[in-house]
């Protein structure tokens, strides 16, 4: 594992934008610090950041913005990413991984660069069921101003020192893996629900009898299930084209409250496409309900 301490001048020479912060702090305290004009980017200004704690200003790094995957809860993040076909252990142990540890147990940060030409990405976060932070995708604010992450050898307010523990180099921050970038893009896309259901032609009448039949099938399927089953159930309900379909699906998902995530649910809804070959239909719901003991 790498334990390098890089000279601020070398960081600046390699396009890492820096902001000085007082020792004992974990973030800037100067008004307007997140504006480009107040960020140190020139090697000639190295003295402004020497001898202090420092943070990386992601949105203003060159030749492309940097970003952090902030694992506030590594254990929960590992499972959340695995559900989306991303192996966290493989990311952390990649030979070029730039990993930062603040000394906080069960918490790490991975640093990456966005693709050249891509603008700064708005930061997004995923929380645990108890509302504590699980994972954050960090780069910029919704307004495009930079966000920051503390770099070694800064001192955490608790007294611990930030350290690099990955195998990679801050002078060669790797590109963000496409799988992680796709997840981030999907989270951004799900901030607003896409009103698709009006374009889906209903093949089953939206009558009290039919709605009760679908509800009975849902009662026989546990929402505490695999991601694939969860997705297929939601899509199957949406395939009815009913006005109430999305609400039916959401109510079913919430029967496993410890698994429910609003952003993820919206993502599944928005990704439903009834116009592909062999789409998910109400037949999938029927099949799963029968497996659960429903006589439909």
Average pLDDT value over all residues in the chain: 89
Q: pLDDT band for position 244 (50/70/90)?
A: confident
Q: What is the CA radius of gyration of the chain?
A: 23
Determine the pLDDT at residue 285.
94
pLDDT at 268: 84
% pLDDT > 90, the chain: 62
pLDDT in tens, 193-234: 444 444 455 567 888 899 999 999 999 999 999 988 999 999
- Whether the CA torsion 99, 103, 105, 107 is positive or negative: it is negative
Segment 259-277 mean pLDDT: 81
| β-pairing verdict for 163-164 and 53-57 | unpaired
Determine if residue 24 is left, alpha or beta; phi over 0 gives left, psi from -120 to 50 gives alpha, anything else beta.
left
Is the pTM here over 0.85, yes or no? no
The whole-number average pLDDT for the span 3-13 is 86
Strands (E), 38-146: 53-57, 66-71, 98-101, 108-113, 124-127, 133-138
121 touches 137 (CB < 8 A): yes
Cα(69)–Cα(76) distance, integer angstroms: 14
Condensed to tens digits (0 to 9), the pLDDT of residues 88-122 reads: 999 999 999 999 998 888 999 999 999 988 999 99
State phi, psi for 33 to the nearest 5 degrees: -60, -30
Give the per-residue pLDDT at 44.
Answer: 96
- Compute the distance between CA of residue 223 and CA of residue 284 in angstroms, rounded to an integer: 15
Between 69 and 209, the more confident residue is 69
pLDDT > 70: what percent of the chain?
Answer: 94
Phi, then psi, of 273 in degrees rounded to 5: -130, 105
Give the residue ranges of DSSP H helices in the chain: 8-13, 74-82, 88-92, 178-189, 208-219, 227-238, 245-253, 262-270, 282-291
The mean per-residue pLDDT over the stretch 79-93 comes to 95
Residue 267 has pLDDT above 50, yes or no: yes
Average pLDDT over residues 32-45: 94
Average of per-residue pLDDT across 150-161: 87
For residues 41-55, average pLDDT? 93
Average pLDDT of span 140-168: 90
**CB contact at 8 A, 259 and 231:** no
What is the per-residue DSSP string for 135-162? EEEESB-TTS-B-EEEETT-B-TTS-B-
- Contact call for residues 64 and 121 (beta carbons, < 8 A): no
Is pLDDT above 80 for 52?
yes
Please give the full DSSP string across 156-210, using - where no structure is assigned.
-TTS-B-EE-SSS-GGGPPBPPHHHHHHHHHHHHTTS----GGGSPPSS---HHH
Print burial letters for 118-139: b (CB count within 10 Å at least 16), e (below 16): eebbbbbebbbeeeebbbbbbb
Answer whether residue 185 shows pLDDT above 50.
yes
Using 50, 70 and 90 to split pLDDT, how confident is the model at 263? confident
Q: Is 52 exposed, middle or buried (0-12, 13-18, 19+ CB in 10 A)?
A: middle
Domain assignments of the chain as residue spans, ordered by start: 8-189, 197-291
Q: Whole-angstrom Cα distance, residue 204 to residue 217?
A: 15
Does the pLDDT at position 277 exceed 90?
no
pLDDT score at 289: 93
Q: Hey, which residues does 109 pair with through a beta bridge?
A: 70, 100
Which residues lie across from 98 on neighbouring strands?
Answer: 111
Per-residue model confidence (pLDDT) at position 196? 47
Give 25's pLDDT tier (boundaries 50, 70, 90): confident
């Amino acid at each position: 594992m790498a334990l390098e301490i890089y000279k601020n001048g070398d960081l600046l020479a390699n396009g890492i934008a820096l902001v000085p912060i007082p020792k004992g702090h974990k973030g800037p305290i100067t008004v307007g610090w997140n504006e480009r004009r107040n960020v140190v980017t020139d090697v000639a200004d190295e003295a402004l950041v020497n001898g202090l704690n420092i943070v990386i200003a992601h949105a203003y790094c060159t030749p492309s913005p940097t970003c952090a995957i902030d694992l506030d809860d590594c254990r929960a993040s590992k499972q959340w990413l695995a559900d989306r076909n991303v192996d966290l252990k493989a990311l952390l142990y990649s030979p070029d991984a730039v990993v930062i540890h603040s000394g906080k147990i069960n918490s790490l940060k991975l640093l990456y660069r966005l693709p050249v030409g891509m603008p700064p990405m708005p930061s997004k976060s995923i929380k645990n069921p108890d509302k504590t932070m699980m994972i954050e995708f960090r780069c910029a604010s919704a307004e495009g101003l930079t966000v920051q992450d503390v770099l070694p050898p800064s001192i955490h307010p608790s007294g611990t020192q930030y350290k690099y523990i990955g195998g990679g180099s801050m002078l060669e921050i790797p590109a963000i893996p496409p799988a992680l970038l796709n997840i981030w893009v999907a989270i951004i896309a799900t901030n607003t629900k896409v009103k698709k259901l009006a374009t889906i032609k209903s093949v089953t009448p939206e009558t009290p009898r039919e709605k009760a039949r679908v509800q009975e099938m849902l009662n026989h399927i546990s929402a505490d299930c695999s991601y694939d089953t969860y997705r297929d159930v939601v899509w199957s309900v949406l395939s009815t084209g009913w006005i109430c379909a999305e609400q039916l699906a959401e109510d079913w998902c919430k029967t496993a409250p410890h698994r429910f995530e609003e952003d993820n649910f919206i993502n599944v809804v928005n990704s439903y496409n009834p116009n592909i070959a062999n789409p998910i239909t109400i037949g999938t719901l029927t099949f799963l309900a029968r497996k659960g003991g429903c006589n439909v």
